[in-house]
Each structure stands twice: as C-alpha cells, then as structure tokens.
C-alpha cells in the first residue's frame, strides 16, 4: 500500500474514532438535557398547579379536573415530553395526556440507548396525588440523528481536506525521492548529463548530496572508461607486437568484402607463413622470435608501399601474415613473392639454406564464402611447401586432392592413438611453485615424421570436422598419464569440440569414471565459447566442476560479452589474453585495463593467470597489478611430458 494511502487510512480511522467519541459525548449531553428539561417542567407544572388551587377557595372536583387537564396539556406540548399524568397515592392514574413514544423510537436508536423512557414525579400536595411527566425518546432520537448528520458532514469535509493535504504533502515530500530515482535510472542508462537534484527539504539533504556526488563520480569514471574503451577497441584491432592489423580486423574486412551488398569485384589473398619461427623460438628463445616477426612485418609493409596492388597487411597469428590486393598479373606477382622470400630469408636469424617462408595465393569474389576462400589458400600453402620457389596459386592445384591429403594425415593421427604431450607450468608466483601444467599435443606427419605445425593442423581439423577426434585423443593420453603421476594438468578444449554433443557426452562420462583423478584435472576453454555456444559451454563446465574438475577461461579480456558467463560458471581461473600481458610494464593503457579485469575476476573469487610472460619486467609489473599466477618462457618453455 502506498504511503499516502496508509496515511489517509490512518486519518480516516482517527476521524472515525473522534466522530464516535464525540457522538457518544453529545448523546450523553442530550440525555442529560432532556432529563433536566423534564425535571424543570415537572417542578414548574407543580408550582402552577399549587398557585392555581390556592386562588380557588373551595374548588369542586370538576374544577380540579379542568385544572389537571390544562396542566397536562401544557406539559405534553413541550417537545421533550411525550406523556403526562396525575396519579393518586396508590399509583392509579387520575388524568392522563399523551402516550409513550417507545413504539415510535427508531430501532437503531434503541440499540444505542436501550434504557426506558425517563419519568419525573412531583407531589401536588392534594391528597397524595402526583404529577408524572415522561420524556419523549423519539424527540431525543430525532435530535441525536440531526447531530450525527451535522457531525458526519463536518468530519467528511475534514477528512477530504486532510486527505488533500496529505496528498499534497506526500507529493512535496516524495518529490526529492522521485527525482533521486529518476536520476539513478538515468545513471543506470549511462546518462550523466541531467542537472543536479535541488534540495527541497533539509531532511533529504544527505540523500540528494550523495546522489549528486555519485552521479558526478560515475560520470567522470564513465568518461574515462569510454576513453579507455575506445583506445582498447582501437588496440584490439591491432597486433601488439607488429602494430599491424590483427586477425579480428582481417575477418571484419573479409566479411565486408563478402557482404551480399558489396560490389562483385575480384580480389587476391596471399598468406605468408614463416617456416623458421618454430625453430627460432625453440633454439634461440621468444625474444629473437619476436624480433624476427617484427622484421618480417616491416618487409611486408615495405612491399605494400612499393606495390600499388597491395591494399592491406595483417598479422593473423604466430607466423602467419595476410596480404589483400587487387588481382595481379603473373609477372608482377612473381616479382613481389620473390622479393618477399628473399627479404624474409635475409632477416631470419637461421640461415641454414632452407626456405624462410611459404606463400599460398588465391583469388576470390564476394559470392564466395569465407570458409571456401580459406580452404583454397590453405590448400595452396600446403602445396607451396613442395614447390621449388615456396609459393603456390590455389587455381593451379586440385583442392579436392589437398583436402583428401589432410584428411588422410588426420585420420592416420587419430588411428595411431598416439601423440607427444608437452607441458608448460602455470606458476604460483607467491609460492614459487607450479599451480598446474598446461598440456598440448604434438603430432608427426606419417610421411616425413616431422611435427605438424599447429597453425596448419588446427584449421585443417576444424575444416574437416575432425578436431573433436583430435581433442578426444589428447584427453585420453593425458588421462592415462595422470594415472601414473601426481601432477595437476590442464587440457585445452577447442570451441568446435565443445559445440559437438557427442564429444561433450563422451568427456563427461570419462571424467565421471575417473573421479579419483578429476581433482587434478583442469580444462582450459576459450572465452569465445561463452559467446558462440553459451548454453552448452556453461552446461559442460558445470558438469565437469560437479565431478571435481576445475575450469580455466582462456583469452580473458578479448570479449566483454563473456563476463556474464563467468558469473554462471564460476571458474577457478581466468587466463588473460596474451596481447594484454606482452610488454605490459611499458603499456599504461593495458595496465589500467588489466587492473580492471583483475578486479572483476577477484570480485567473483576467481584467480587470474597471465600468459606469454617473457621477462622479469613483465612479471614484476603483473604482480603489482595483482596477477599472482603467470605462464611463459620467463618461467619455462614447453617440454615433453615424460612420466614413465
């Protein structure tokens, strides 16, 4: 019930009680007045009778009767008297006028005043006779009813006036509250431009001041967050290491080119893959590897400046770059590709005479799908590894044959039920011990016995819908190794596997069968899975947690939309995106953003991991920001997991 309604109800109740009390008091007063009036009339009539009789020397009985009649007629003419009588000493009526009024009294008044009519008796001093006057209860009821109507009207008017007063006062009192609620709703909708609330009453001063202060504080913080968000949005489309546009920017640009409303113009896509990067990282470390990547980026940028056909340069991931260009004639393209190959070989720290890069080229139009284009260029890349010059045009190879080769290679891997498992520790920097080890599979080609680069294997597995089989193989091997070791390890689950109902059912059943191991097992899941397949991802995580396993959400910070999923899952860890942690000791914007993410995670009681930590400066900066779990080459490189 509203406050004004409660107040009005209270006022009506009080007025009713006051009306009742006043009516009872007026009834008592009216009864007393009637009693007094009847008594006075009786005494007056007795005096008149005595005076009249005393003036008659010897009145006859007839004369006396006439006097009685006159006396009684005068008495019953009074409004408060209903009957008058002369009775003898035995109580027998001699003369009587009027009649009792009880039969004509309203029933409601009889309920209020059930007492009989009031009788007043006075002696006439003539042989013991008495004058008896009876009160008129009907007149009392009529007068009391008139009083009730008058009081009811007065109280009704008073109630209406008080109700209006209460409504007006409530409106005045609640106006600051309404304005405060309105202001808070505007704040919730990120509108901080409305004017400050004015104080209408000192009683609401603290509330108004607190609301205005909150609005001003949030306004400044929101402006700062918007600035940081714009900065981060801009940075999110840029590769942190090379400052080239990243994979996200590449995919957005490709979607725009492939939009149904886009003009149907032919374009050319060149994927440049660094052949030496894995060896450089393994033999020389990540710092020389990063320097090599930067040098290659500069080579590609320089080539784009010198070639009017090349429009955009992207770094997709690891050692993969993309060039988007207008269609080129063969001679012009060969000059460009030859120059890129020579320059990349020149800047490579490994000068062992092998090819530094492989390049796949495909042409496309807007009617083609993204998957079709990437299949073509991926097939060209595979074929390029066997060409003398190191590049291949997709139009000059059989795509079906290429996909068949990949399927054959992947089926062989799955059928062998074997993979090398490498592990890298996630360090608890406070205790200086591994919190757990992240595992990953390494697969060898059946023909060359060389390790297949994951940058090639994962896209091919996804394209051919075989990645759930690959993830199942790795998980099986990890579970077997866990049976003979006490280490705590994490298994990476791809988005495609999470989306696969058969894989999810298999995984939950396997973990349920191994409850003795489940508490030492973690699953690392990309935060993009919480956006692309939110319901099934949340359901799978809850089932794994219920069986004793733990969850780490990877690439935290890449997608703001995944924050809602964190609340639903409550994972044990989140792993910050590597592009946020690299070089963080010199990047103030990333420091502010990471600090915000750490606050969000810790507010949900989730531990934070930083990946790709390469040096002491980055580690110290992250510890200052509250990131106590770290992973990267600064602590240890991935190493083969030997448990037998």
Three-state secondary structure along 324-367? EECCCCHHHHHHHHHHHHHHHHHHCCCCCCCCCEEEEEEEECCC
Q: What pLDDT, on a 0 to 100 scale, did the predictor assign at position 4?
A: 67
Q: What pLDDT, on a 0 to 100 scale, did the predictor assign at position 231?
A: 61
Written as one string, the DSSP assignment of 230-293 is HHHHHHHTB-TTT-SB-HHHHHHHHHHHTSTTS----EEEEEEEESSHHHHHHHH-HHHHHHHH
- Residue 460: strand, helix, or coil: helix
pLDDT of 190-248, one tens digit each? Answer: 666 666 666 666 666 676 677 677 767 766 776 666 666 566 656 567 887 888 888 88
Q: What pLDDT, on a 0 to 100 scale, did the predictor assign at position 42?
A: 80
d(CA 119, CA 309): 127
Q: How far is CA 554 from the centre of its chain?
A: 22
Instruction: Please count the other Cβ atoms lying within 10 Å of the Cβ belonging to residue 230.
Output: 10
Instruction: Please name which of 609, 624, 595 lies closest in space to residue 225, comparing C-alpha atoms.
Output: 595
Q: Residue 154 — pLDDT band, cuts 50, 70, 90?
A: confident
Highest mean pLDDT, choosing among 154-168, 185-199, 421-435 = 421-435
Enumerate residues 6+ apart whose C-beta is below 8 A from 626: 595, 598, 602, 608
Highest mean pLDDT, choosing among 177-191, 447-461, 593-607 = 593-607
Q: Token digits for 442?
A: 């390494």
Q: What pLDDT, on a 0 to 100 scale, did the predictor assign at position 323?
A: 94
Q: Which residues pair with 132 in a beta bridge?
A: 85, 121
pLDDT top residue among 642 and 237: 642
Q: What is the mean pLDDT of residues 156-161?
A: 86
Q: What pLDDT, on a 0 to 100 scale, did the predictor assign at position 236?
A: 64
pLDDT of 37-81, one tens digit each? Answer: 888 888 888 888 788 777 776 767 777 778 778 888 888 888 888
CA-only gyration radius of the chain, Å: 51
- pLDDT at 637 > cutoff 60: yes
Average pLDDT value over all residues in the chain: 83
- pLDDT at 126 > cutoff 70: no
d(CA 529, CA 196): 43
Residue with tokens 């969000």: 600
Instruction: Please name which of 549, 491, 498, 540 lies closest in space to residue 519, comparing C-alpha atoms.
Output: 549
- Confirm if 508 and 540 have CB atoms less than 8 A apart: yes
């Amino acid at each position: 019930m509203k406050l004004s309604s409660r107040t009005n109800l209270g006022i009506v109740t009080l007025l009713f009680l006051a009306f009742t009390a006043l009516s009872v008091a007026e009834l008592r007063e009216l009864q007393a007045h009637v009693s007094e009036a009847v008594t006075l009339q009786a005494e007056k009539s007795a005096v008149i009778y005595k005076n009249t009789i005393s003036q008659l020397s010897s009145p006859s009985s007839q004369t006396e009767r006439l006097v009685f009649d006159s006396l009684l007629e005068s008495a019953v003419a009074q409004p408060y008297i209903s009957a008058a009588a002369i009775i003898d000493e035995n109580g027998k009526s001699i003369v009587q006028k009027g009649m009792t009024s009880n039969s004509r009294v309203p029933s409601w008044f009889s309920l209020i005043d059930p007492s009989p009519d009031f009788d007043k008796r006075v002696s006439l001093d003539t042989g013991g006779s008495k004058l008896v006057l009876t009160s008129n209860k009907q007149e009392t009821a009529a007068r009391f009813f008139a009083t009730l109507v008058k009081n009811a009207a007065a109280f009704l008017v008073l109630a209406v006036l008080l109700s209006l007063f209460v409504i007006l006062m409530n409106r005045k009192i609640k106006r600051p509250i309404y304005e405060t609620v309105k202001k808070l709703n505007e704040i919730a909708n990120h509108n901080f431009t409305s004017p400050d609330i004015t104080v209408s009453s000192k009683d609401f001063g603290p509330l108004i001041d607190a609301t205005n202060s909150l609005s001003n504080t949030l306004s400044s913080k929101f402006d700062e967050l918007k600035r940081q968000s714009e900065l981060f949005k801009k940075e999110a489309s840029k590769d942190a290491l090379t400052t080239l546009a990243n994979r996200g920017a590449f995919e957005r640009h490709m979607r725009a080119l492939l939009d149904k409303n886009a003009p149907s113009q032919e374009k050319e896509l060149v994927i440049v893959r660094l052949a030496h990067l894995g060896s450089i990282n393994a033999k020389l470390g990540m710092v020389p590897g990063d320097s090599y990547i930067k040098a290659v980026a500069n080579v590609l940028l320089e080539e784009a400046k010198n070639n009017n056909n090349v429009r955009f340069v992207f770094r997709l991931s690891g050692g993969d770059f993309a060039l988007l260009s207008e269609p080129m004639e063969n001679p012009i393209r060969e000059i460009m590709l030859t120059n890129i190959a020579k320059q990349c070989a020149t800047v490579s720290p490994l000068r062992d005479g092998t090819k530094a890069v492989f390049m796949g080229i495909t042409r496309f139009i807007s009617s083609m799908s993204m998957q079709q284009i990437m299949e073509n260029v991926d097939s060209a890349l595979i074929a390029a590894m066997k060409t003398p010059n190191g590049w291949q045009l997709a139009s000059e190879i059989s795509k079906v044959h290429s996909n068949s080769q990949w399927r054959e290679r992947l089926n062989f891997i799955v059928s062998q039920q074997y993979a090398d498992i490498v592990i890298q520790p996630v360090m608890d920097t406070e205790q200086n011990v591994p919190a757990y080890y992240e595992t990953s599979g390494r697969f060898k080609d059946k023909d060359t016995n060389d390790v297949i680069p994951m940058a090639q294997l994962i896209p091919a597995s996804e394209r051919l819908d075989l990645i759930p089989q690959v993830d199942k193989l790795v998980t099986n091997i990890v579970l077997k190794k866990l049976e003979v070791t006490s280490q705590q390890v994490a298994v990476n689950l791809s988005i495609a596997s999470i989306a696969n109902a058969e894989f999810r059912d298999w995984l939950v059943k396997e973990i349920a069968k191994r409850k003795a191991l489940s508490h030492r097992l973690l699953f690392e899941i990309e935060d993009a899975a919480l956006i692309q397949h939110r319901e099934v991802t949340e359901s799978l995580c809850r089932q794994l947690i219920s069986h004793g396993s733990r969850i780490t959400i990877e690439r935290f910070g890449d997608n703001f939309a995944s924050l809602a999923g964190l609340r639903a899952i409550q994972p044990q860890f989140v792993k910050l995106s590597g592009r946020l942690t690299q070089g963080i000791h010199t990047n103030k914007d990333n420091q502010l953003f990471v600090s915000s993410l750490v606050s969000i995670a810790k507010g949900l009681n989730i531990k934070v991991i930083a990946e790709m930590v390469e040096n002491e400066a980055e580690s110290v900066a992250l510890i200052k920001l509250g990131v106590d779990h770290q992973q990267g080459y600064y602590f240890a490189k991935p190493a083969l997991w030997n448990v037998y």
